[in-house]
Amino acid sequence: MSDFWGNVFVETAARYSVAILCLVVFLVIFELVTSYKNWEEIKRGNLSVAMATGGKMFGIANIIRYSIEHNDTILESIVWGGYGFLLLLFGYFIFEFLTPTYKIDQEIERDNRAVGLISLVISVGLSYVIGSSIQ
């Protein structure tokens, strides 16, 4: 049985499955903290929400990539990926805090594409900073 779990194809499939599960869970958490409904807004054609959500998805996937690359076990990868996600979520709140003259969520919901793009870039950029420090 150890040969089965040691097989590179099985391990890749397992890590892939865990990454998809983590991505879904973390996106649900982001959905809960935003004032708009991501998928409803995307369905309506709100490009700002699509950019912000895409940035979050890329950021989460990038953090998971780093956690897989730097850890031997799937459990370690999940722990570091979860920690990285919390830091990314914290970055989202800092972004909101640093713009006191307007609300990020409201601007994104109104399809302010400049804010949507900045949100995307912040998520992607932070994911590289967070990922580079994952052990």
Is a pLDDT exceeding 70 seen at residue 87? yes
5-57 pLDDT per residue, tens: 678 898 889 899 999 999 999 999 999 999 999 999 999 999 999 999 999 99
**CA distances from residue 74 to 4, 52, 54, 62, 102 in whole angstroms, order as listed:** 15, 28, 25, 16, 41
56-84 pLDDT per residue, tens: 999 999 999 999 999 888 899 999 999 99
Residue 36 structural domain: 2-132
With beta carbons less than 8 A apart as the criterion, state whether 24 and 11 touch: no
With beta carbons less than 8 A apart as the criterion, state whether 123 and 89 touch: no
Q: How far apart are CA 90 and CA 75, in angstroms?
A: 23
Structure tokens at 19: 């990454």
What's the pLDDT score for residue 11?
87
Q: How confident is the model at residue 99 (pLDDT cuts 50, 70, 90)?
A: confident
The DSSP letter of residue 26 is: H
Q: How far apart are CA 89 and CA 97, in angstroms?
A: 13
Is a pLDDT exceeding 90 seen at residue 85? yes
**Would you give the distance in Å from CA 20 to the centre of its chain?**
11
What's the pLDDT score for residue 5?
65
Domain count, the chain: 1
